[in-house]
Chains A and B, each alone.
Chain A
C-alpha cells in the first residue's frame, strides 16, 4: 500500500485558505469592519487571486497527467454530483477569476461593482470550506472524516488571511498603520476559536469517538512523530504567542485612543511612547507571520498524520 499525496497537497490546501482569507480581510475592511486603513482594503484583493492560482497550479503539476496529457484536465469539472474535487475546481476557478478581476479594476482605478465583491466573498468562503471538505468526505481516513474539519479550516483561513493582509499592508504603507485595535481583537477571537476547534476535533479523535484508527492518527500528532511540529509551530508559535501578543497589544492600545491608536501615538506621542509603539508594531507583525506559519503546519499535520482505516495488514 502506498499513497501519493505529498507536500504539494498540504501547500495547496494552505494557499487556498490563505488567499481566500486575504480576500475576506479586504472585503471586511472594505465594509469598514476593520477600521479604515486604505492598504488593508486593497492588499487582500491583490494577493488572493495569485495566491490561490499558485496553489492550484502546483497541484495541477502534481497530477499524474498534469505534464503528460494536460487536456484530460478539462474533465475535472464533470463530476458535479458527487466529487468534492470537482466542486473545488469550479469554486477555485470562479474565485480566481473574480478576485483577479477585482484586483485589475482597483489597479486601473475603476470602481468595483459591489455585487462583484459580494460574489467574491461567497466564493472565498466556499474556497476555505472546500479545502477542509475535500478531506472530510473521505470515510477511509477516520481523522479527516469529521465535518468540523472544514469549519476549522475556514477559521484558520480567516486567521492566516487576516495576518498576511495586515503584514503586507504594513509593508506597503509603512508607518501608516492599520486599525490595530479592530484587527487585533479579531485576531484574538479567531485564535480562541481555532484552539477550541482543534481541541474538539482532536479530542473527539483521541477519546475514540472516531474509532481506533483516528485515535492512533491523533496520537501521532499529540505525542508521536508530528508532536514536535504540532506543539512548537502550531500551538505555541502559531496560536499561543499570537494570542498573548494580541492581548498585550490590546491592553497597550486600549489605554490610548480607539481607532488608529498606534499611528496616533506615533503622531502625538500621547499615551504610548513613539519608540515603544514602533517595537510593539514589529512584535505584532512578527506574530502575524507566526499565525501564517501555524496555518501551514495545521494543514501539514492533518494531511500527513491521518492513517487509513485499514493499513493493508491482517490482524
Chain B
C-alpha cells in the first residue's frame, strides 16, 4: 500500500466519503422522522379519541378455544389462516393461555407499511380495517406486525386478511363473535382507556410478548398471578 499515489488516494477517499455521507443523509432523517411521529402519537394517546380494544383475563381463561372457533365460523377463515389464536404454555404455576387476534393498535405498523393503503383506521372507534379486495399480497404487513395478526395464504386467495373486530356485527349493536363465545368471561372488549383502568390490567407485555411501544396495541391483559 506504500506505493499508492497519495494525491489520488485522498481524492478517492473524499469521493467514497461523500457517497457515504449522501447515503447516511438519505437514511438518517427518515429514521429520526419516524421516531418523532411515534413520540407525538404516544403523547396524544391518552387523549379524546375513542379506541376500542380487547380485554383478556388470563386468570379466567380455561383454554377451551371457543373464541377462535367462533371467529372461524363467523368470519369463514381461508384455508391455513387464523384470525384469532389461543397460545398456551406450561409454566411452574400450571398452564397459561393467551387468546389474541389483531390488537387494533393506536399506531398500526401494518397500515404504515402497506403500499396500497388497504388498511385504514376507523375514525369513530379506532378499528383497524383491512380491504382484502385491494390488497396486492406483498406481505410487508406480515413482517411489520409484531403480533403476526395479518395472515396470508398465497395459494388460496393471495390476499392478506385479518381480524375485523366483527365490525359488521358491532355496527348492528352486537358483540364480536369471540367475546360472545367465551364461556368464562375471560375475553371482553370496550373503550381501551376504560379497560386499562380495570384492577390488575397491564399492557400486553407478559409471557415474552413484544414491547407495546412498537405499535401501542389496544389489548389489555389481566395476567395470571
Contacts and interface: CB of A to CB of B under 8 A. Distances in A.
Nearest to A86: B115
B207 A315 contact: yes
A76 B19 CA distance: 29
B122 to A, nearest CB: 18
A314 B113 contact: no
Given A64-B152, A193-B20, A314-B208, A138 B113 contact: yes
Contacts of A85: 113, 115, 138, 140
B115 to A, nearest CB: 4
B199 interface: no
B116 A147 contact: no
A141 interface: yes
B210 interface: yes
B145 A75 contact: no
Given A4-B139, A75-B136, A186 B16 contact: yes
Interface stretch (B22-30, B46-54, B165-173, B181-189): B22-30
Band of interface residues on A: 35 or more
B23 A150 contact: yes
A308 B96 CA distance: 22
A222 interface: no
Given A4-B152, A182-B12, A258-B5, A78 B146 contact: no
Interface string B208-224: 11110010000000000
Contact of A310 (B19, B31, B134, B147): B147
Contacts of A312: 87, 148
Of A77, A309, A310, most buried by chain B (CB within 10 Å of CB) is: A310
Contacts of B174: none
B202 interface: no
A4 B154 contact: yes
Interface residues of B, number: 60
Nearest to B116: A75
Contacts of B30: 133, 137, 147
B142 interface: yes
Given A64-B158, A133-B30, A72 B134 contact: yes
A83 B158 CA distance: 20
Residue in B9, B26, B96, B145 with the greatest tally of chain A CB atoms within 10 Å:
B26
A155 B20 contact: yes
Contact of B146 (A73, A258, A309): A309
A76 B20 contact: no
Interface string A112-129: 000000000000011011
A189 B11 CA distance: 12
Interface in A153-181: 154-155, 158, 181
B23 A128 contact: yes
Interface in A301-315: 308-310, 312-315
Contacts of B134: 72, 75
B192 interface: no
A95 to B, nearest CB: 14
Contacts of A149: 27
Contacts of B109: 138-140
A64 to B, nearest CB: 2
A250 B136 contact: no
Contacts of B20: 151, 154-155, 193
B26 A254 contact: no
B27 A65 contact: no
B89 interface: yes
Interface in A23-80: 28, 33, 63-66, 68, 72-73, 75-79
Contact of B12 (A3, A126, A189, A258): A189
Contact of A314 (B13, B26, B87, B152): B87
Task: For the complex of A and B, list the 9 residue pairs with the smallest distance between their C-beta atoms, beginning with the closest.
Answer: A64-B137, A64-B158, A315-B208, A314-B89, A154-B23, A254-B3, A147-B31, A75-B116, A85-B115
21 contacts: A4-B152, A33-B15, A63-B158, A64-B152, A68-B158, A72-B135, A75-B115, A78-B115, A83-B113, A84-B113, A125-B22, A133-B26, A137-B34, A147-B31, A150-B27, A154-B26, A250-B4, A254-B5, A312-B87, A313-B89, A315-B207
Given A133-B27, A139-B109, 9 more contacts: A3-B139, A3-B143, A78-B116, A85-B140, A89-B115, A136-B31, A140-B145, A182-B8, A185-B12
